[in-house]
Structure 1
């Protein structure tokens, strides 16, 4: 029975990765002695890697110190895991580099994974020049960069607006027969779109699809943002349709970008239609995008009023209220003024009441519009009454 446990104990530690229970992995690790299972160097490193993978960094570093206290010697594998942990925070990047430089003194030669981890960390924190130096060094040391290493550096270069170097790395990958992945293409597209080269980004999308790589939500979002930024709304809608056909659901931020694009070219009806589509699909803004959606809804209502679409504006206004989106004082004022001029005093009075309930006080101009509206209605009623009296007098005089 014990021998069977020895065979299956170590895989059971690895299972904890799948269930994302790092503390459970430690609990099982601690029970190994109870079942006369020897704690090997591999079992220590596995638990250490689980803790780092689950971002339990403080616990991971404590466990690493425990490993050293138990006499577990440093190895390339364990130091790679430690470097990965230190690369997760900008404040510990220098410590990661220090360990990297000390590895040969400990009899551990850095491998491709070591370089790749450091390059990824440096790029994440905007240190692309240091990342490029390491990239050149790894080739000199006979370590071949993987697609992950290339992609990390390409992403870093694109973030620092070094598009030419990033595209050069893509060509280098092709020469070496390293197939770019979705992250590689998405990073390049993001860089191209930010630089105002959305047409080149679209070409990359077609290359990506031709190589049977499925674009993900990030890929499509990057393209739509770039196209909208350049005012290419037709193309952005085509990408949105492709995204939906692939079964991917656009988020509120993506809809906001398209709606904002229509607002910028004063196509408020289309903007309102996309707001309706978003609501029907059950897409709601999160805490980050909430204020943006409040602003864009108010902008669309105001735009519809300026384009003489009061009924559509009122419909969107009601939708805003039902979803708890704040209505700006300017939006209230424009709606009230519009319906007062139209003579629809019922809607105007309702909006005034809701405005006051929301804590907004109508300004002098709004009150003037309301009073004038009711005054005009009174004058119409008085004129109609006068005409009716005159007609009655004529009927009486004629003896009918």
Structure 2
């Protein structure tokens, strides 16, 4: 830290001055230098307190330097500087941000070691992190531990418990029981309580129950949020009740609840799945006019819907807009576009999109692999039918290089195509690779090869092929 010597401090250094300098310094390393240099000369009598230590810890957490933040805790203990609960809460939230719930539990377990007694706020925060990260078994154990430690039930704690029960399988009724008992125990459900239950009901497919709860929510004086409306809209779209979803969309606007990108995306997805891609496009354009930025789900829903209705050109335009937004289409989206062009017998355009997908480094996952194999083989077969043998052969080579299975029909199409063109050496090579792959040529494929050799007056080669064919048939006969 060579910058320590260059730092000039006044005679009386105060915590507020150190904080001000650290706040104004965006570079973390320089902020560390300010923090360290403030106590470089102990003759000035300055020692860090909770405020300066707390700020340094927050700077480390913002940069995901968790070990450095924890080192600060050790230093605070060594310097006998009391550690406030807020510092621990900052660490919990930082670990939660990077989805490390077990680290949150670990730090919580160290609070007493640092002579900081956790309050209900810490307990509820840790409980909430576990539920949000779907660590439900651990969350329920932690809740029981909370009660054993005498942490009283409160609306925030009960809200998290209800959320856990809504996420857990088969416990929606338990969530409702707690909800109904809350007023009896002096706990008034708030908007978050209602919203959590409505979301849980929608996830369970109980959309009508969720709608009734929305009415009850408003009657109790709680205002539904955009998240609550979006949960309901998404739920109705999932069961193809588009009229109900659109009614809710209109209702939220009449109540000055502005739809967000997830609201629009849910409606667009529902419309596209039910053959209303034109209406979905209108919503898409309205969404953009309102300054909302579409996400990958929005684009995917539109592309799938347009392809399903045979509107491939429009789907390609949406794909281009998606790429302009620096969103990377996946293999499933490309497969839809390619398959759409195949349905229109536009195999060269389909092949161009296959090339684009490969050059972009987009690979299928386990779910889309089967579709990936089928569209590649379909494009090769289509190109052969249209006489584009060279382009078909290049894709065939790409299939073999990338370990994508070549179907028997694809081999046969290639052999027929090259025999018709008179390129018998390439046809023979493909047939050899076909046999090596365990695919048995049918009579039509053998006939194509034989006709090709006869046309070229290559009687010897034709005789050898005939003999090979007879031998193959003999072996098949004896094996059965």
Residue of structure 1 equivalent to 2:223: 144
Per-residue Cα deviation, 1:40-65 (whole angstroms, up to 9, x for no partner): 11111111111112221111110001
**How well do the aligned residues superpose, as a CA RMSD in angstroms?**
1.8
Q: Which of 424, 433, 446 is residue 345 of structure 1 equivalent to?
A: 424
Is the counterpart of residue 124 in structure 1 residue 215 in structure 2?
no
Report the TM-score, using the length of structure 2 for normalisation: 0.77
Residue 2 of structure 1: how far off its partner (Å): 5.0
**Alignment gaps of 5+ in structure 1:** 383-400
Residue 345 of structure 2 corresponds to residue 266 of structure 1: yes
**How far apart are the structure 1 equivalents of 2:280 and 2:432?**
51
Mapping of 1:323-338 within 5 angstroms?
323-338=402-417
- Note the C-alpha offset of 1:106: 2.6
Separation in structure 2 between the aligned mates of residue 19 and residue 187 of structure 1, nearest angstrom: 27
Q: Is the 8 A contact 2:385 2:417 kept in 1?
A: no
Q: 1 CA distance for matches of 2:153 and 2:80?
A: 30
**Quick one: structure 1 residues 333 and 188, their matched pair in 2 at CA, closer, same or farther if it must change by over 3 Å?**
same
Q: Report whether the alignment pairs 1:317 with 2:396.
A: yes
Q: Structure 1 length normalisation: TM-score?
A: 0.91
| Shift in alpha-carbon separation, 1:245–1:15, aligned structure 2, 3 A | closer
CA offsets, 1:232-280, max 9 Å, x none? 1121111111111111111111111111111111111111111111111
Residue in structure 1 matched with residue 84 of structure 2 by the alignment: 6
CA contact (8 A) 1:90 1:125 kept: no
Whose relative contact order is higher, 1 or 2, with alpha carbons under 8 Å and at least 6 apart?
1
CA distance in structure 2 between the partners assigned to 1:223 and 1:23 by the alignment: 39
Q: In 2, distance between residues paired with 1:350 and 1:89?
A: 58
Displacement of 1:297 after TM fit?
0.9
Please report how far the alpha carbon of residue 296 of structure 1 lies from its aligned counterpart in structure 2 after TM superposition: 0.8
1:368 aligned partner: 447
1:150-229 paired onto structure 2 within 5 Å: 150-229=229-308
Would you say how many aligned residue pairs link Structure 1 and Structure 2?
A: 382
Matched, 1:46 2:114: no
The whole-number CA distance in structure 2 between the counterparts of 1:330 and 1:9 is 64
Tell me if structure 2 keeps the 8 A contact 1:74–1:106: no
* Mean CA deviation greater in 188-197 or 82-91: 82-91
Match of 1:388 in 2: none
**Number of the residue aligned with 1:114:** 193
Q: Give the conservation status (yes or no) of the 8 Å contact 2:83–2:115.
A: no
Q: Where does the alignment leave 5 or more consecutive residues of structure 2 unmatched?
A: 1-78, 462-480
Change (3 A) 1:279 1:13: closer
1:95 and 2:174 aligned:
yes
> Would the alpha carbon gap of residues 9 and 319 (structure 1) be closer, same or farther in structure 2, given more than 3 Å must change?
closer
Contact 1:256–1:293 under 8 Å retained in 2: yes
> Cα gap change, 1:20/1:61 in structure 2, threshold over 3 Å: closer, same or farther?
same
Q: CA deviation at 1:380?
A: 8.4
Q: 1:270–1:277: structure 2 CA closer, same or farther, 3 Å change rule?
A: same
Shift of 1:125: 2.4
Q: CA deviation at 1:89?
A: 3.2
SS at structure 2 position matched to 1:279 = helix
2:140 paired residue number:
61
Q: Distance in 2 between matches of 1:187 and 1:147?
A: 13
2:97 to 12, 15, 18: 18
Change (3 A) 1:154 1:108: same
In structure 2, C-alpha distance between the alignment counterparts of 1:168 and 1:17, rounded to whole Å: 37
Q: Secondary structure at the match of 2:170?
A: helix
Q: Is the 8 A contact 2:123 2:146 kept in 1?
A: yes
In structure 1, the residue matched to 2:319 is: 240
- CA offsets 1:187-211 (integer angstroms, 9 cap, x no match): 1111111121111111111111111
